[in-house]
Amino acid sequence: MKIENLLDKMWKDYIVLNKSAQKIVDLFEQKGNEVVNDHIALRTFNHPKLSVDVIAKPFLEAGYFENGTYDFEEKKLKAKHYEHKDANLPKIFISELMLEEFSDELNELVNSLIEQVDEKKISEFDFCSSGRPWNLSSETYHRLAKESEYAAWVSAIGFKPNHFTVYINKLQSFTEVSDLNTFLKEHGFMLNSSGGEVKGSPQVFLEQSSTLADKIEVDFDDKSEVIPSCYFEFAKRYELPNGQMYQGFVAKSADKIFESTTLK
113 CB contacts (<8 Å, ≥6 apart)? 134, 136, 140, 155
Answer yes or no whether residue 233 interacts with Ni ion by CB under 5 A.
Answer: yes
Q: Least separation, in Å, of the C-beta of 75 and Ni ion?
A: 14
Q: Which of 97, 164, 173, 160 is nearest to 130 (CA)?
A: 160
Strand 37-45 and strand 215-219: the pairing is: unpaired
Q: Looking at beta carbons only, is 41 or 56 nearer to Ni ion?
A: 41
Kindly tell me which of 207 and 220 has the beta carbon lying closer to Ni ion: 207
CB of 210 vs Ni ion, minimal distance in Å: 8
**Dihedral angle sign, alpha carbons of residues 164, 38, 57, 252:** negative
Q: Which range in 67-75, 94-102, 123-131, 228-236 contacts Ni ion by CB under 5 A?
A: 228-236
How many residues lie near Ni ion (CB under 5 A)? 2
Nearest 5°: CA angle at 145, between 142 and 151?
A: 120
- If one asks whether residue 207 binds Ni ion (CB under 5 A), the answer comes out as no
User: Segment near Ni ion (CB under 5 A), from 41-49, 60-68, 141-149, 217-225?
Assistant: 41-49
Closer to Ni ion by Cβ: residue 145 or 257? 257
Stretch near Ni ion under the rule CB under 5 A, chosen from 27-35, 57-65, 122-130, 232-240? 232-240
Contact call for residue 92 and Ni ion (CB under 5 A)? no
| Number of neighbouring beta carbons within 10 Å of residue 140 | 21
Nearer to Ni ion, 107 or 247 (CB): 247
User: What is the Cα–Cα distance from 252 to 127, expressed in whole angstroms?
Assistant: 29
CB atoms within 10 A of CB 169: 14
CB of 191 to Ni ion, least distance (A): 14
- We find the least distance from the C-beta atom of residue 81 to Ni ion, in angstroms, to be 9
Please report whether residue 38 would count as binding Ni ion according to CB under 5 A: no
Residue 215 forms beta bridges with which residues? 228
CB of 165 to Ni ion, least distance (A): 5
**Measured from the CB of residue 72, what is the shortest distance to Ni ion in angstroms?**
12
| Whether the Cβ atoms of residue 78 and residue 95 lie closer than 8 Å to each other | yes
Q: Is 41 in the site for Ni ion (CB under 5 A)?
A: yes
Give yes or no for a contact between 45 and 96, defined as CB atoms under 8 angstroms apart: yes
Residues found near Ni ion in the complex (CB under 5 A) = 41, 233
